[in-house]
Chains A and B, each alone.
Chain A
Amino acid sequence: MPIFQGETQTEVVQGLMTLLQNESHPPIIIVKVLALLAAVITTQSQAQPVFEEVMTVAKRSKSQKVIAQAIHTASSLSQCVPPDPKLQDQVIQLALSQFTSTNYVIKVRSLEAVGNLCPTEEGRVQSAIMKTLIEHTKHQDNRVRTAAFNALLVVQEREVKLSPEVYDSVCQALHDDYQCVREVALNLIKVAADGDPERLVPIPDSDHHVRLVDHAFSQICNMVNDISVRVRTKAASLLGNMTSVSERFLAQTLDKKLMSNMRRKRSAHERARAMVASGEWSTGKRWSDDAPKEQVEADSVSVINTGACGAFVHGLEDEFLEVRNATLDSICALALNNSQFANQSLDFLVDMFNDEIEEVRLKAIQVLQQIACHITLRSDQLGEILHALKDSSLDIRESLHTFLATTILSTMDCIKLCVTGLIDNLRRYPQDRRSIHRCLRRLGSNHPILVEALVPQLLLIHPYFDGVEPSVQDGEYICKLILVLNAAVHCPTIVPLLEQHTLRHYAYLRDTMPQLVPVLKLGEDWQPTGEAVATNTLRFLRESMEKVANLERSSTQMRLTIYQIVHSDLVKLADIDPELSPAAHFAALYTQCMWLFNKILSTRNWLTPSSLSVQQSGALKSNVDQLLRNTFRLRHAFTNLSPQAEASIRNLRVRTLALQLVYVVHGSTGSALGLCDNFLEHTEALHRYLTDEKLSGDSFLEAVFEELSQLEEPRPGAVARILQPLLISHPVPALAPITNPREIRMCSAEILEPQPDSEVIYKLSAGLVVGVPLDAEVSHIPNPSTLRIRVAYPDHSTHLVVPPKSHLRKVGPGTYRLLTTVLVSAQVSWSEACQVGLSLVLDLSDQEVLAARRHSVAKADDSATTIQLVKPVKVLVWPKVIRKGV
């Protein structure tokens, strides 16, 4: 249903009204008209006249469907903004008068209406409504019952207090034959318990009382055993919201054998515990331990769950994963508030690691991870958990790594188990290396004391004998080192334990993986060089930029040289200081652009390419292309720029487009219409931007604006004629000093899988596809939907593949992880395996070159519209001939 605006809407309403007034229409049309009216009208001023008509229809009509719909429409009309209490009264009266009807639709609609409109202040109307609602919760039709409970739910949400008898009737409704009634009753119980948690509810057949929230909790627990999956799921998920439940009840949910009896809770509780100890119920684990012992007192045991008994145990054992998942969520929510419960639920969660469905296993691990702060693991529990590291699913292993990184282990054995488990994991799945390293780093810094005791064992240090020096290429050794070195930060006594070669390796690791190995306070000898020296990269960056800025009066040749020097300096700087790398790249690119500009403009006869030699014209063309690419990259690859920087980038871009236009108009015979449009569009956009940001353009731009405004019709030739002298007379300004060099972000990516030096050959039948698993980390891309996987085939054809959105997961601010399978294909068979390049690019063709597209100036080469994020990784692919007759 489209939303109409102003005039059209009024017309629509008028049309509908005339339809409504005509009594000869069949009921079905009237019903539809009424429904449309309810959907179209949103304001009270419109609702007023329509409302009258609807009410007369309701009174006039004989059709029950029409009456029902009229009530519904009237109800929604009366709720238009601002709500009109007078209209609402009328609707309530209408609805109340229609309850005599035997038709269920009318009843349902009426219940909905009075539920929605029930006044919040007490009074005659309210009590009448409440009475009607309560009466209808026992109606013979299940749909009416559902509607009545739903209406009560709405009323409760409007903070009208429900009487205690409502709660009783809701509890009865839990045993209803219809699942929809049970479902809504569950909701209502939950809401009731939230509203008045501390009210005492009597237990039947005794003079004891329980808190309402506890009572409600046990009622909902009962429903975890319902017949219907929907009700079970609902019950299981509602349990998680009831955080104020008493501990006594909470503890029961995990105990299947504890048989409590609502009548005498405490005594039954104790007796039941004794019974479990005496083994009245066998576990089915041992043969013939289920021979009945002597008869226990009649009412002391109850096999049926009255109360919260074992609700979660049942939920976790449920047949359907929806219920199991909901139960896990609830356990998580409750355990976050209650560390005792968290510890109790631990065993059950670990059991879930053994679930048959991966989704559930994963969820169990995630829950465990969330409640990790509450639990201390024993070694037997840890053993079970570490088992899951052998799972073939990457998600499960990585979640487990995160869990292990956050958890608190109780003993040395646990650490040892953990390390062995992780190393075994590394052996099985080498692609987990990064994740395992991160895990060990946290593990070390979380348990320095425990690790200290393990150092000799881990690093094979012997008091008398010198061990063999392990290789730093050894993955397992690196793992152990990461653990030990991170512990050493918090426990200085570790350092003296280490051997000489270990310290040497520390220096090496500190250089190669600085983010995993912390700085240790060591003697002068072992300090990695350069560590302590103040680098002052920031100053260097600034100085370099100043150097460029002060070139205005120097000769062209001089400038070109300095541009080049500064450019290469900055590129190096980017490698040295990762923090400044984006800013340095930014400055470097800009400098290169300046160089290119100067180079092009200083080329003699650049406007008459025909007079140039082949070599010169080729160089010129490539320079222009390079310039376009650079400015494009500057424009899109960097984020978090200051407005000034942004403006100068856009300036540069416009200037480049101007250059391109002039070059094309003079140099080639083709139409430059598209280019001209593109240039104008950019110029205008920049103009708007500058006005919005209250910045002034540079002199070139000012001149362009001025000249353009005098132009009658912007034809390419005319525009180019204007631009040509301007380009030369206004040299490219130097980049304004970067105000926030550490905050600039450049989009980048790293492909973790496939490994570049992998020798795996993906074989496929020609014409079919093969999936290459791709695992990459992408950071700081402005818009994730522009991410593409670029597949470059040996025949120089490239494909851009859009990765499914669900395969892109956010792992941190601005950082995404792409886990997907790239489909690679070839139509014909190849004689041998060839390299196919996989890389990640941003595809900005929609945004940038729209105008160019329109005039079909798009080039075959996609480099003009894409930004490469990472160097291609080569994989070997070998399409083979399809065997005939198979």
Chain B
Amino acid sequence: MPEIKVTPLGAGQDVGRSCILVTIGGKNIMLDCGMHMGYNDDRRFPDFSYITDGPLTDYLDCIIISHFHLDHCGALPYMTEMVGYNGPIYMTQPTKALCPVLLEDMRKVAVERKGETNFFTSVMIKDCMKKVVTVTLHETLQVDSDLEIKAYYAGHVLGAAMFHIRVGSQSLVYTGDYNMTPDRHLGAAWIDKCRPDLLISESTYATTIRDSKRCRERDFLKKVHDAVDRGGKVLIPVFALGRVQELCILLDTYWDRMNLKVPIYFTMGLAETANKYYRMFITWTNQKIRRTFVHRNMFDFKHIKPFDKSYMDNPGPMVVFATPGMLHAGLSLAIFKKWASNANNMVIMPGYCVQGTVGHKILNGAKKIDFENRTSVEVNLTVEYMSFSAHADAKGIMQLIRHCEPKNVMLVHGENAKMEFLKQKIMQEFNINCYKPGNGETSIIPVSIDLDVEVSLPLLKHTMALPTSSSSSSSSSSSSSSSSSSSRGNNTEENRTKKQKVLHGVLIMKNNNLRIVGVNEAWGDLGVTAHNLRFTERIEVDETGPVPALTSALHTLLSQKLGSSQVQAVNEFQLSVADSVFINIQDDEPGKTILLSWTHQDEGLGSKLLDIIKSNYKKS
């Protein structure tokens, strides 16, 4: 039984460090190569030594990166440059553009701020990016002669894609992160009915069915508006790319509509670069932006100004977008420390927070946060959570499964307990197998294999023609096709294309391919001489007259029984029935002997003749 082997090196029953190893049809593919935000030690990168002891290039056929979030591409330079991999890396154009921006930013934070050594360098990021091959949406790309990949739109962030991977008849879809509801700047994920053997889906929101998007947006705007109205400062920790662009569009248009004057700041630098790319990849955005960008590019914000560190202490209300999104380091944490004690202020967490981050702690209601350097901060400000992260909710996941109709589903990128819940639902709803391997655990998914068999055209034509001829020719012909046709009665002729038919032929396995050909053809092909198997029966009869008399009597008899067209007299001593059964009459004093001979294909006809003759010329 062929199988697909899947081993998550990260993101198995976990969020962060997405890295899934797949073996399909003899090809080894790595899906995503991310890092974990919650750790600062070796655990942040996947354990590549698990894969093989030797060089990775020999073992892996390709790497596919679904989108530019660091938990999906963060370990890429480490792997390609420090561990060593020279094979192809596939990603979409926007991902390729934005990935190095984020990697560089992360490197700066790690090396320059935290003073880490043994981290990859800028040069390594550049070298790594040189190995990337870009994929456009819906383009089928041949990695090698057997392996092909195809990207589908996934929503989530700019350039996010789902990948359909096919080796021969086996296929799988890896969704990366995706979003089934459109938002302010991106469309919804879309896939066709590709019916893969396995769907590897993220399941961040496995137990959530979210309110309508507009409802959430309104709540968000209202909260922000109320906070600035009472003079508070609003901190929105975000990752530089993705959600923040959506929220910026949202606030920018809202400010425009409401004519608000409160400043909105946005940590520039990284975001500036990112916005530049967003303005460029308009084709990847949603209907609205695509329709209006000629008039005004929505990513040219009117009300959003660059942030400077000194603004942190400015009096009066303001709204600040600051990175990073989980309040685990950097500017957002610094601002949080400053503002946390004032009850007028507010922090809005627009997305998911990994365990261990400050964001996670305050969302769980911590009133006091301790930091590494023995300082601590009282949390007096309002903490709001707003699910803006663009992952599919339970309904969206189910919808995707329904759209692409996989034979098996695997859940990754989610919390174990929630996955278990969704797994039950999937198995019950679609009646298909669902897997959720942990990190380092290998799931083996058996797949049925389709064999391509070539059937010779003459044989097909011959078989297709059979029923029409069988109805007219003879019911005595013992082929099973005629029996099936008679059993169905006079079923309509037009419907015959739908009917199942038995096909007689020879299966030839040669040079790694299969062919079904007609018997005669096979003989010719294989150079085998045909052997005929004939049954012969001798019947002694008490007939006294001359041989030709018996012959003609027999001829008359058989013509009556079978129809005159079937029976032919070959000569005085010989009759032939349906060109294949021969009847010889021999003078064998005192009686005569009738010699009946038929091939084993005509078994039915032969035995029938035998019965007829026996019953009529029984030796008394």
A residues near B (Cβ < 8 Å) are 99-100, 102, 131-132, 135, 138, 140, 177, 225, 227, 256-257, 281-288, 290-292, 295, 298-299, 301-304, 313, 316-321, 348, 351-352, 354-357, 384, 390-392, 428
- Is B307 an interface residue when CB atoms closer than 8 A count as contact? no
- 18 pairs from A and B in contact (CB 8 Å cutoff): A99-B494, A132-B494, A138-B498, A227-B192, A256-B395, A281-B208, A282-B209, A287-B364, A292-B418, A299-B428, A302-B429, A303-B398, A304-B399, A304-B429, A317-B214, A318-B182, A319-B286, A351-B218
Q: How far is the CA of A313 from the CA of B187 in the complex (A)?
A: 17
Residues of A within 8 A of B385 (CB): 285-287
Task: Report B386-438 residues with CB < 8 Å from chain A CB.
Answer: 386-387, 393-395, 398-399, 402-403, 417-418, 420-421, 424-425, 428-429
Interface of chain A: mostly helix, strand, loop or mixed: loop
Nearest opposing residue in chain A for B422, CB measure? A303
Query: Is A281 a contact of B207 with CB atoms below 8 Å?
Result: yes
Q: How far is the CA of A24 from the CA of B6 in the complex (A)?
A: 65
Q: How far is the CA of A138 from the CA of B212 in the complex (A)?
A: 39
Residues of B within 8 A of A227 (CB): 190-193, 403
Cβ distance B82 to chain A, nearest Cβ, rounded Å: 37
Nearest opposing residue in chain A for B249, CB measure? A356
Task: Report B281-297 residues with CB < 8 Å from chain A CB.
Answer: 286-288, 291
Query: Is A295 a contact of B208 with CB atoms below 8 Å?
Result: no
Query: Is A287 a contact of B425 with CB atoms below 8 Å?
Result: no
Task: Report B262-292 residues with CB < 8 Å from chain A CB.
Answer: 286-288, 291
Given A132-B494, A227-B403, A351-B212, 20 extra CB contacts under 8 A: A177-B193, A281-B207, A285-B385, A287-B363, A287-B385, A291-B207, A291-B417, A292-B207, A292-B418, A295-B421, A298-B428, A303-B425, A304-B429, A317-B214, A351-B214, A352-B214, A355-B214, A356-B184, A390-B257, A390-B258
Nearest opposing residue in chain A for B181, CB measure? A317
Q: How far is the CA of A99 from the CA of B219 in the complex (A)?
A: 61
Residues of B within 8 A of A319 (CB): 182, 187-188, 286-287
Residues of B within 8 A of A355 (CB): 214
Q: How far is the CA of A321 from the CA of B493 in the complex (A)?
A: 48
Residues of A within 8 A of B218 (CB): 351, 354, 384
Query: Is A285 a contact of B193 with CB atoms below 8 Å?
Result: no
Task: Report B425-472 residues with CB < 8 Å from chain A CB.
Answer: 425, 428-429
Q: How far is the CA of A746 from the CA of B537 in the complex (A)?
A: 115
Cβ distance A368 to chain B, nearest Cβ, rounded Å: 15
Known: A319-B187, A354-B218. A285 touches B211 (CB 8 A): yes
Cβ distance A706 to chain B, nearest Cβ, rounded Å: 67
Query: Is B208 a contact of A303 with CB atoms below 8 Å?
Result: no
Query: Is B259 a contact of A301 with CB atoms below 8 Å?
Result: no
- Is B367 an interface residue when CB atoms closer than 8 A count as contact? no
- Is B131 an interface residue when CB atoms closer than 8 A count as contact? no
B residues near A (Cβ < 8 Å) are 181-182, 184, 187-188, 190-193, 205, 207-219, 253, 256-259, 286-288, 291, 349, 363-364, 385-387, 393-395, 398-399, 402-403, 417-418, 420-421, 424-425, 428-429, 492-495, 497-498
Q: How far is the CA of A504 from the CA of B213 in the complex (A)?
A: 52
Residues of A within 8 A of B420 (CB): 292
Cβ distance A346 to chain B, nearest Cβ, rounded Å: 13
Residues of B within 8 A of A131 (CB): 492
Query: Is A283 a contact of B211 with CB atoms below 8 Å?
Result: yes
Query: Is A285 a contact of B216 with CB atoms below 8 Å?
Result: yes
Residues of B within 8 A of A303 (CB): 209, 394-395, 398, 425, 429
Q: How far is the CA of A135 from the CA of B495 in the complex (A)?
A: 8
Give which listed residue, A295, A321, A352, A354, contacts B424 with CB less than 8 A.
Answer: A295
Give which listed residue, B256, B349, B421, contacts A287 with CB less than 8 A.
Answer: B349
Nearest opposing residue in chain A for B404, CB measure? A227
Nearest opposing residue in chain B for A285, CB measure? B211
Query: Is B190 a contact of A282 with CB atoms below 8 Å?
Result: no
Most B-side CB within 10 Å, residue of A102, A304, A357, A428: A304
A-B contact count (CB 8 A): 122
Query: Is A391 a contact of B257 with CB atoms below 8 Å?
Result: yes
Query: Is B207 a contact of A301 with CB atoms below 8 Å?
Result: no
Query: Is B259 a contact of A428 with CB atoms below 8 Å?
Result: yes
Residues of A within 8 A of B213 (CB): 317
Q: How far is the CA of A520 from the CA of B166 in the complex (A)?
A: 82
Q: How far is the CA of A257 from the CA of B495 in the complex (A)?
A: 45
Cβ distance A450 to chain B, nearest Cβ, rounded Å: 26
Nearest opposing residue in chain A for B211, CB measure? A283
Cβ distance B85 to chain A, nearest Cβ, rounded Å: 36
Query: Is B402 a contact of A290 with CB atoms below 8 Å?
Result: no
Nearest opposing residue in chain A for B187, CB measure? A319
Residues of B within 8 A of A138 (CB): 498
Nearest opposing residue in chain A for B253, CB measure? A356
Known: A290-B205, A299-B428. A281 touches B193 (CB 8 A): no
Residues of A within 8 A of B421 (CB): 292, 295
Residues of B within 8 A of A284 (CB): 205, 208, 210-211, 216, 387, 393
Query: Is B425 a contact of A392 with CB atoms below 8 Å?
Result: no
Residues of B within 8 A of A225 (CB): 399, 402
Known: A288-B363, A319-B286, A319-B287. A392 touches B208 (CB 8 A): no
Q: How far is the CA of A351 from the CA of B418 in the complex (A)?
A: 30
Nearest opposing residue in chain B for A321, CB measure? B287
Query: Is A100 a contact of B494 with CB atoms below 8 Å?
Result: yes
Nearest opposing residue in chain A for B219, CB measure? A285
Residues of A within 8 A of B181 (CB): 317
Q: How far is the CA of A356 from the CA of B395 in the complex (A)?
A: 23
Q: How far is the CA of A99 from the CA of B494 in the complex (A)?
A: 7
Cβ distance B36 to chain A, nearest Cβ, rounded Å: 20
Residues of A within 8 A of B288 (CB): 356-357
Query: Is A354 a contact of B217 with CB atoms below 8 Å?
Result: yes
Nearest opposing residue in chain B for A292, CB measure? B421
Residues of A within 8 A of B493 (CB): 100
Known: A287-B364, A354-B217, A428-B259. A281 touches B425 (CB 8 A): no
Cβ distance A204 to chain B, nearest Cβ, rounded Å: 14
Residues of B within 8 A of A283 (CB): 208-211
Cβ distance B365 to chain A, nearest Cβ, rounded Å: 9
Query: Is A285 a contact of B429 with CB atoms below 8 Å?
Result: no
Q: How far is the CA of A131 from the CA of B494 in the complex (A)?
A: 11
Cβ distance A848 to chain B, nearest Cβ, rounded Å: 42
Cβ distance A518 to chain B, nearest Cβ, rounded Å: 35
Nearest opposing residue in chain A for B402, CB measure? A304
Q: How far is the CA of A284 from the CA of B352 in the complex (A)?
A: 10
For the complex of A and B, 6 pairs with smallest distance between CB atoms: A284-B387, A319-B182, A287-B385, A284-B210, A287-B363, A351-B214
Query: Is A390 a contact of B259 with CB atoms below 8 Å?
Result: yes
Known: A227-B193, A299-B428. A282 touches B259 (CB 8 A): no
Nearest opposing residue in chain B for A309, CB measure? B395
Query: Is A257 a contact of B402 with CB atoms below 8 Å?
Result: no
Give which listed residue, A290, A292, A317, A320, contacts B212 with CB less than 8 A.
Answer: A317
Query: Is A354 a contact of B214 with CB atoms below 8 Å?
Result: yes
Most B-side CB within 10 Å, residue of A227, A286, A384, A390: A227
Give which listed residue, B214, B217, B287, B417, contacts A320 with CB less than 8 A.
Answer: B287
Q: How far is the CA of A295 from the CA of B424 in the complex (A)?
A: 10
Most A-side CB within 10 Å, residue of B212, B219, B385, B398: B212
Residues of A within 8 A of B188 (CB): 319
Nearest opposing residue in chain A for B419, CB measure? A292
Nearest opposing residue in chain A for B250, CB measure? A356
Query: Is A282 a contact of B207 with CB atoms below 8 Å?
Result: yes
Cβ distance B430 to chain A, nearest Cβ, rounded Å: 8
Residues of A within 8 A of B494 (CB): 99-100, 132, 135
Give which listed residue, A290, A302, A390, contacts B208 with CB less than 8 A.
Answer: A290
Q: How far is the CA of A292 from the CA of B208 in the complex (A)?
A: 9
Residues of B within 8 A of A286 (CB): 385
Cβ distance B290 to chain A, nearest Cβ, rounded Å: 11
Nearest opposing residue in chain A for B182, CB measure? A319
Residues of A within 8 A of B425 (CB): 301, 303
Cβ distance A308 to chain B, nearest Cβ, rounded Å: 15
Q: How far is the CA of A299 from the CA of B217 in the complex (A)?
A: 33
Nearest opposing residue in chain A for B420, CB measure? A292
